[in-house]
């Protein structure tokens, strides 16, 4: 039986710097990065910092949270290499204080958490965005379990469905919440044909009525 804690397990994975998920940002984040307004950004479960560094290089002040201190140490090295700085916080997302109406963007790329933890986590994200702020998520879905060995936790409980996420972000306007089949190439743990959910959601500007444009239900 594996007796390592999750932090020990992830720390071990990151002892080979940048081999796991690489140094390039996630494709979907790159696609929607222009939609994130100026201001502070919070990157959840950010590992070795490739997405955080990308957003810092676009001018955001970025806080990266992860339970792996080794991952975040690598993130700071990647930031230094690319001439930017990050605020890094070693914390468990189930107890982290996201704050209130603060962030211009919250980024959740492969932040796979147990189903029991997700409702509170996503409600905290919605609360913590400032008016006009953007929530960006990409995660593997349960359908991805049909593609063993190409990435993501092999456990259905850790994989959100689009239907769950459409209900999970109180007060945000969903621009899209879509399940996609796409090729992923992000280092040794994420590669090959994959099935993911991609979310782009906005907190309405102050005074605007929340309006949901969910145009892509499946």
Q: What is the CA radius of gyration of the chain?
A: 16
Q: Which of 32, 67, 70, 134: binder of ligand SAM (CB under 6 A)? A: 67
Residue 121 CB, shortest distance to ligand SAM, in Å, is 9
Burial class from Cβ neighbours inside 10 Å (0-12, 13-18, 19+) for residue 26 reads: buried
| Residue 146 DSSP class | G
**CB closer to ligand SAM out of 68 and 196:** 68
CA distance 23 to 51: 8
119 binds ligand SAM (CB under 6 A): no
105 binds ligand SAM (CB under 6 A): no
Closest CA to 198 of 181, 178, 171, 183: 178
Total number of residues binding ligand SAM (CB under 6 A)?
A: 20
Residue 142 CB, shortest distance to ligand SAM, in Å, is 17
135 binds ligand SAM (CB under 6 A): no
Q: Which of 28, 71, 126, 198: binder of ligand SAM (CB under 6 A)? A: 71
Residue pointed to by tokens 């008016």: 131
Residue 193 CB, shortest distance to ligand SAM, in Å, is 18
Sheet with strand 173-185: strands edge to edge: 87-90, 62-66, 41-44, 103-109, 129-140, 191-202, 173-185
69 binds ligand SAM (CB under 6 A): no
Choose one: 44-52, 128-136, 167-175, 193-201; the region binding ligand SAM (CB under 6 A).
Answer: 44-52
């Amino acid at each position: 039986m594996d007796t390592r804690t999750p932090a020990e397990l992830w720390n071990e994975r990151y002892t080979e710097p940048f081999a796991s998920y690489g140094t390039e940002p996630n494709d979907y984040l790159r696609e929607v990065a222009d939609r994130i307004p100026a201001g502070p950004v919070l990157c959840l479960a950010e590992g070795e910092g490739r997405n955080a560094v990308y957003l810092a290089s676009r001018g955001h002040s970025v806080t990266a949270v992860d339970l792996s201190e080794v991952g975040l140490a690598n993130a700071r090295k990647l930031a230094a290499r690319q001439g930017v700085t990050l605020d890094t916080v070693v914390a468990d997302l189930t107890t982290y204080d996201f704050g209130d109406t603060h962030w211009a963007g919250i980024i959740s790329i492969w932040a796979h958490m147990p189903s029991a933890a997700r409702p509170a986590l996503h409600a905290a994200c919605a609360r913590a965005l400032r008016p006009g702020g953007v929530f960006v998520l990409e995660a593997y879905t349960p359908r991805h379990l049909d593609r063993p060995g190409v990435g993501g936790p092999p456990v259905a409980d850790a994989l959100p469905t689009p239907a769950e996420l459409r209900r999970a972000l109180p007060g945000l306007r969903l621009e899209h919440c879509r399940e996609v089949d796409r090729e992923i190439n992000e280092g040794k743990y994420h590669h090959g044909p994959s099935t993911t959910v991609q979310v782009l959601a906005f907190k309405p500007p102050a005074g605007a009525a929340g309006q949901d444009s969910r145009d892509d239900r499946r």
